[in-house]
Amino acid sequence: MTALLGPAEIRGLAAELGLRPTKTLGQNFMHDPNTVRRIVRTAQLRPDDVVVEVGPGLGSLTLGLLPEAAHVHAVEVDPVLADRLAVTVADKAPLEKARLTVLQADALGVTRDAFVPPPTALVANLPYNVAVPVVLHLLAELPTVHHGLVLVQQEVADRLTAGPGSKVYGVPSVKLAWYASARLAGRVPANVFWPVPNVESGLVAFTRRTLGLDVPREQVFAVIDAAFGQRRKMLRSALAEWAGSPAEAVAALERAGVPPTARAEELDVSAFAAIAAAHRGVGPRR
C-alpha cells in the first residue's frame, strides 16, 4: 500500500524546499490521508482511467491516485514543486513512479497535445483562485475527459452545481452544464489543509454529456455572459446589446420559445443554446 503524506511530512517537505505557501498560487496543502482516500474513493476511478491532476503541490493526492489509475498527469505551475513531485513519488511509491507524468505549466494554458496518453478523468484539489476557469478550460480542451471530481471552495461548489431558480445559479453553473452534469459530492473541513484556509471546501463530481445542439459553444457562452451581466433585468433588456437592439433580442427570444420577460436565472443551458441558435438562424440537431 502506498504511503500517504501526513502533517509532519508535509511540513518537512515544505521546510526542505524553503516553501512558504502563497495566496497568489492558491497553495493550501492537504495533509490528511483519510481525506485523500475519501476523495479517491469518491472519484470512482476505473483501472484504465488516465487522470489529469491540477495543482498536485507536495503530492498528497497524487500518491492516492497512482494506485487507482493507469496513469496520472500532474500539472503544476510552481517549478520547485514540479521538480520535487517525481522525487516524492519515487520515494513513497517506487512501483508506481512510471505511471506519473509531471507537467510544469499553467493549467489555463495547456492543450490536449501535452497529454499522452489522453486523460479520461479530472481529479484535483484545485487552487481556489482559478478553480472555475481551470475546470472549464480543461473540459473544452480535453474532450476525452468524461468524468471527474474536483475540490473547490464550498461557495464555488454550490455555484457550479446550482440549478435554475437557485440564488447562486449563474455563469459557472450554466457553463459547466454545457459540458457535464454535476452534483455536490461532500464537504471537506478546513483543518485538513496547511495552512488552514478560512473557508470550507466542497467536492464537485461531474459526468460529461452531449446536449445534441448544433450551435457553437462560443455563441452560447456569449448569450450566457450577456444575460447574467445584467441578471436583474428581463432578457429582452439584458440581451439587447448582444442581439443588436431590443427588437432583435425579443425576436430571438420568441423564436427560441423563451418569454422576453424571463430572467437569466430562470433558464437552463438548453434554453441559452436555443436563444443563440435562434439569433443565428441555426436550429437544434434532430
CATH class, range 217-280? mainly alpha
Residues 90 and 13: their CA atoms lie apart, in Å, by 14
What is the three-class DSSP state of 110? coil
Residues 204 and 182: their CA atoms lie apart, in Å, by 7
- Retrieve residue 55's grid coordinates: 495543482
The model's pTM is 0.93
For residue 42, how many other CB atoms are within 10 A of its CB? Answer: 15
Is pLDDT of 46 > 60?
yes
CATH architecture of 7-208: 3-Layer(aba) Sandwich (3.40)
For residue 49, how many other CB atoms are within 10 A of its CB? Answer: 22
Least confident span in 107-121, 130-144, 179-193, 268-282: 268-282
Is pLDDT of 285 > 50?
no
Residues 272 and 95: their CA atoms lie apart, in Å, by 49
Burial of 278: CB neighbours in 10 Å, binned 0-12, 13-18, 19+: buried
